[in-house]
């Protein structure tokens, strides 16, 4: 519920925002974070359920704050969105992820990268251009990029559908993140040109005992597959969860059990080891 409010706030004038003194300080610091090289993109491996190899990585932003240490994206992404800084920061993440992927392609050809997008970026005219240029500048095939969006974007951004069609025409993949946490979104699965669906980690609790979550996950996989969507289960922390989502046919697995988000260098080592 709180999350939803945040998305809405971003639409209004700055003066309607109510930020605590700590948040205002953090926002002021965020203005300089990029040029002071305090931001870093971590990568979390995503595994193919069939061959158990890394098929893609998700780019996850980190802020190494000089005084506060590592600040969580859950804290600073909302500030980046409400202040508009997400446009610059988000473009930087896209560029970083594409450059990194082109290096990884030297030893791990079919690897994909997933990049999270916020509503604010979606409302910006130039998003498609930024993405296309980043792919071209790094000589990447468009189908190795997955853009992760949330249901909030589909609801709040008037021309989300049009923008998504532009991405799909370029051959770029679109994943609906945190599926099941927002709205009753079954009609969105049909209406928007999606290629992937990520079942939110909140549905993995208690999977091993059966019950409601187990039924939901099984049904969502069936539904998604009938619509031709690839399904990723995120937040896998136990072997029992991995076994369950594997058994019901999830295509990809992501979570601490398999690998945590890590710096690019460490991810390079993991990929190299895996590519033999
Ligand atoms: P998200 O897109 O849903 O990303 C998944 C989050 O779950 C990440 O948190 C990841 O570190 C965490 N995670 C992965 N495996 C597990 C697990 O097994 N158990 C648990 N409990 N958590 C797991 P993180 O890195 O703190 O990012 C939080 C959120 O910040 C992301 O959620 C995303 O919404 C946002 N975010 C991160 N980077 C970016 C970015 O570059 N752009 C935008 N717009 N948002 C970003
Ligand atoms: Ca995500
Ligand atoms: Ca997610
Ligand atoms: Ca999330």
Give distance in angstroms: CA of 262 to centre of ligand 2.
15
pLDDT tens digits, residue range 233-252?
A: 999 999 999 999 999 999 99
DSSP sequence for 256-272? TTT---EEHHHHHHHHH
Report the chain's mean pLDDT, rounded to a whole number. Answer: 92
Please give the number of the atom of ligand 1 that sits closest to the Cα of 200: 3
Q: Is residue 2 pLDDT above 50, yes or no?
A: no
With contact defined as beta carbons under 8 Å apart, do 141 and 120 qualify?
no
Q: Is residue 7 pLDDT above 80, yes or no?
A: no
Question: Cα 54 to chain center, whole Å?
Answer: 16
Q: Can you tell me the distance from the alpha carbon of 233 to that of 26, in angstroms, rounded to the nearest whole number?
A: 32
Q: Looking at ligand 1, which residue's alpha carbon is closest to its atom 22?
A: 235
Q: Can you tell me the distance from the alpha carbon of 216 to that of 211, in angstroms, rounded to the nearest whole number?
A: 9
Among the listed residues 258, 206, 212, 211, the one whose alpha carbon sits nearest the alpha carbon of residue 232: 258
Q: Can you tell me the distance from the alpha carbon of 251 to that of 220, in angstroms, rounded to the nearest whole number?
A: 12
Ligand 1 first shell, C-beta below 6 A = 44, 59-61, 72-74, 77, 90, 93, 116-118, 148, 177-178, 201, 234-237, 255-256, 261
Query: Where residue 16 falls among pLDDT bands split at 50, 70, 90?
Result: low
**pTM for the complete prediction?**
0.93
Residue 276: what pLDDT? 66
pLDDT tens digits, residue range 32-81?
A: 999 999 999 999 999 999 999 999 999 999 999 999 999 999 999 999 99
Give distance in angstroms: CA of 142 to centre of ligand 2.
19
Give distance in angstroms: CA of 208 to centre of ligand 3.
21
Query: Best mutation site among 40, 44, 73, 74 for ligand 1, i.e. most ligand atoms within 8 A of its Cβ?
Result: 73
pLDDT tens digits, residue range 176-214?
A: 999 988 765 788 898 999 999 999 999 998 887 878 999
């Amino acid at each position: 519920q709180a999350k939803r409010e945040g998305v809405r706030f971003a639409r209004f004038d700055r003066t309607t925002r109510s930020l605590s003194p700590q948040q205002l300080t953090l926002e002021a610091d965020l203005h300089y974070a990029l040029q002071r090289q305090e931001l870093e993109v971590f990568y979390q491996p995503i595994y193919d359920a069939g061959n158990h190899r890394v098929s893609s990585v998700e780019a996850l932003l980190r802020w190494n704050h000089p005084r506060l240490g590592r600040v969580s994206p859950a804290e600073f992404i909302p500030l980046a969105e409400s202040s508009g800084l997400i446009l610059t920061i988000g473009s930087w993440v896209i560029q970083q992820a594409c450059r990194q992927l082109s290096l990884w392609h030297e030893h791990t050809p079919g690897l994909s990268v997933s990049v999270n997008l916020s509503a604010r970026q979606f409302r910006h005219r130039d998003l498609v251009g930024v993405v296309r240029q980043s792919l071209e500048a790094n000589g990447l095939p468009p189908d190795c990029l997955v853009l992760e969006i949330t249901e909030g974007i589909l609801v709040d951004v008037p021309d989300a559908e049009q923008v998504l069609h532009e991405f799909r025409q370029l051959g770029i993949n679109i994943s609906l993140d945190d599926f099941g946490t927002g709205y009753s979104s079954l009609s969105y699965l049909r209406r928007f040109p999606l290629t992937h669906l990520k079942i939110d980690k909140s549905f993995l609790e208690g999977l091993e005992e059966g019950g409601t979550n187990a039924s939901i996950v099984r049904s969502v996989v069936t539904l998604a597959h009938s619509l031709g969507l690839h399904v990723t289960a995120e937040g896998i922390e136990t072997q029992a969860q991995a076994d369950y989502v594997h058994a019901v046919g999830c295509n990809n697995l992501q979570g601490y059990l398999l690998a945590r988000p890590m710096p690019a260098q460490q991810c390079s080592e993991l990929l190299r080891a895996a590519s033999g």
